[in-house]
Amino acid sequence: MTLKTVPVVEKIMDANDQVAAENRKLLDEAGVFGLNIMASPGSGKTSVILQTIQRLAPKLQIGVIEGDTAPVTIDADKVMAAGMPAVQINTGGSCHLDAPMLSRGLGALDLKDLDLLIVENVGNLICPAGFALGTHANVVIASIPEGDDKPYKYPNIYRGLDVIIINKIDLMPYIDFNMDYFRKGIEILNPGLTTFALSCKTGEGIEEWANWLLEKVEDHKK
Amino acid sequence: MTLKTVPVVEKIMDANDQVAAENRKLLDEAGVFGLNIMASPGSGKTSVILQTIQRLAPKLQIGVIEGDTAPVTIDADKVMAAGMPAVQINTGGSCHLDAPMLSRGLGALDLKDLDLLIVENVGNLICPAGFALGTHANVVIASIPEGDDKPYKYPNIYRGLDVIIINKIDLMPYIDFNMDYFRKGIEILNPGLTTFALSCKTGEGIEEWANWLLEKVEDHKK
């Protein structure tokens, strides 16, 4: 008789992937492009979202799902103050969103009214990498003060991206950040990756990022 | 007949706490004070460790255990270049150290030669909070560019601290950081907590922090 093993982790991942596929179907049927934003705490995810809303609001209806490890609505409140619908998912201490959580978030939005769904994942450079949500694109927001070695130290989250944003470039004069070393780390993991360097403070680079995203949303509707 | 339930999570935590108690005993027997440093990626954990070594090396023998989610030795190499023994624990993708991992790390150091053990936990503001290691003090290193709302958003890791370091204060002129709001968030979670605001770049505040730590190490030997 052979020992039977139960691959619990694999099964959980499969279940997540199944729900992610259902989420994708819901988004596609409603013609909504879904963007999953991952980053460290304090990299400026919410600031980038607010800048993106400001640039694209005249052209697109944008919904935001905020993933938070604690029941504080700081980020969701900012999005609603910017005039867009927001849903907060409190993960109850967990370090990432997963597809079933996003599914519940989608149920709380009128998807047919939206063109773009932005998901702000929990601030974490490790856990979110392991859980597909069903969105159409994954972006990591790096920030200058985090340092230039992050792609080397956190390769799982920097791998398999559709685009990367390098935020807070206004701080470059005050920080030892070797942009070539950082870009080399990104390139090893994602050859030819689209990259936007920007500042939510000065507005530099925001337009290029917003135009790229607008094109993705419009292509998705075709 | 009543249904029997198996509290798996609770049992795992118990097992971790048991090993943490063994780690504590090992440290105490060797007269080593253990410090667990937790923080976001890029908050400056390694820079603070290097500054601490520079200030205290003439008086103390310091060992460092570096927790990394990937098999890169960037931080451990820096510590060894500073002339102190370092051990790297690669968590294999996991988002925190636990007591059994630290136990293996302790086995790789000559504890009897040390006065102070600094543990650099994995860069993460969520996971490390749930796992005692057996060290004597927990510190979080916050950094100015992360923003002033982090204690509110990540309360589990900011709770139950022995000391907090606010790093990168040289960046205050360039960032909207409300120090009163930040300190209020800390105070709610840790009334009267010892706080050091410092800059590894200018050296401001390092001496006060190093003196506090030296006193802790000396008190522990008594």
Token pair of B21 as six digits = 């108690």
Tell me how far apart the alpha carbons of residues A52 and A213 are, in angstroms, rounded to a whole number. 9
Whether A63 is covered by a domain: the verdict is yes
- What's the number of CA atoms in the CB half-sphere (13 Å) around residue B153? 27
Assigned domain for A205 exists: yes
Is the pLDDT at A82 greater than 90? The verdict is yes
Does the pLDDT value for residue B220 go beyond 60? yes
Task: Say if CB A82 and CB A54 are below 8 A apart.
Answer: yes
**Is the CB of A58 inside 8 Å of chain B's CB atoms?**
no
Could you read off the pLDDT of B21-72 as tens digits, one per residue? 999 999 999 999 999 999 999 999 999 999 999 999 989 999 999 999 998 8
Quick check: A3 pLDDT over 90?
no
Alpha-carbon separation of residue A198 from A204, A221, B3, B47, B58 (angstroms): 5, 27, 57, 26, 44
Structure tokens at A109: 């939005």
Residues 6+ apart with CB under 8 A from A208: A196, A198
Question: Two tokens at B202?
Answer: 């200018």
Q: Does A72 touch chain B (CB under 8 A)?
A: yes
Handedness of CA A24, A25, A27, A31 (dihedral sign): positive
For A15, the 3-state DSSP assignment is helix
- What is the number of alpha carbons within 13 Å of residue A148 lying toward its C-beta? 12
Least CA distance to B153: which residue of chain A? Answer: A70
d(CA A116, CA A118): 6
| Phi, psi of A63, deg, nearest 5 | -110, 150
Phi and psi at B60, nearest 5°, equal -130, 150
Strands B137-143, B86-90: pairing kind = unpaired
Q: CATH no. for residue B101?
A: 3.40.50.300
pLDDT of residue B14: 87
Instruction: Write down the pLDDT at residue A222.
Output: 86
Asked if the ipTM is above 0.95, the reply is: no
The answer to whether residue B3 sits within a structural domain is no
User: Closest Cα partner for B19 from B107, B117, B122?
Assistant: B107
Residue A53 in any domain: the answer is yes
pLDDT confidence of residue B6: 58
Number of Cβ atoms within 10 Å of the Cβ of B121 = 30
CA distance A214 to A156: 27
Contacts of A11 (CB under 8 A, 6+ apart): none
pLDDT score at B222: 86
Tell me: pLDDT of B2 over 90: no
pLDDT at A7: 57
Question: Using CA atoms, how far apart are residues B126 and A44, in angstroms rounded to an integer?
Answer: 18
Residue A155 lies in a domain: yes
What residues contact A109, with CB distance under 8 A and at least 6 apart? A63, A65, A85, A87, A117
- Tell me whether residues A70 and B154 touch, CB distance under 8 A: yes
In angstroms, the separation between the Cα of residue B110 and the nearest Cα of chain A is 27
Cβ contact B147–A93 (<8 Å): no
Residue ranges making up the domain that contains A93:
31-221
Task: With a cut of 60, say whether residue A125 has pLDDT above it.
Answer: yes
Strands A33-39 and A116-120 come out as parallel
| DSSP conformational letter for A3 | P
Task: Inspect the interface and report whether the beta carbons of A147 and B42 lie closer than 8 Å.
Answer: yes
For the stretch A139-162, pLDDT in tens is 999 999 999 999 999 999 999 999
Count of domains forming chain B: 1
Does position B203 have pLDDT exceeding 80, yes or no?
yes
Residue B1 belongs to some domain of the structure? no
pLDDT interval class at A97 (50, 70, 90): very high
Burial class (CB in 10 A: 0-12, 13-18, 19+), B29: exposed
pLDDT at position B103 is 97
Does A165 have pLDDT greater than 60? yes
C-beta separation of A133 from A163 below 8 A: no
In a domain, B121, yes or no: yes
**Any idea what the Cα angle at residue B100 is, between residues B98 and B72, rounded to 5°?**
65
| A65/A85 Cα distance (integer angstroms) | 9
Which among A65, A123, A64, A117 has a CA at the least distance from the CA of A89? A65
Question: Would you call B42 and A150 a contact, using CB atoms and an 8 Å cutoff?
Answer: yes
The whole-number pLDDT of residue B8 equals 59
Quickly tell me which residue has 């959580």 as its tokens.
Answer: A101
What is the length of chain A? 222
In the predicted model, is pLDDT for residue A115 greater than 90?
A: yes
Q: Model confidence over B139-183: pLDDT tens digits? A: 999 999 999 999 999 999 999 999 999 999 999 999 999 999 999
Average pLDDT over every residue of A59-75: 94
**Residue B168, domain member (yes or no):** yes
In whole angstroms, what is the distance from residue A50 CA to residue A182 CA? 26
The shortest CB-CB distance from A41 to any of B40, B70, B155 is to: B40
- Mean pLDDT, chain A, rounded, equals 94
| pLDDT number for residue A1 | 55
Select the residue of B124, B145, B155 nearest A42 (Cβ to Cβ).
B145
Rounded to a whole number of angstroms, the distance from the CA of A58 to the nearest CA of chain B is 28
Q: Which helix (H) or strand (E) holds A53?
A: helix A45-56
Tens digits of per-residue pLDDT, B85-144?
999 999 999 999 999 999 999 999 999 999 999 999 999 999 999 999 999 999 999 999
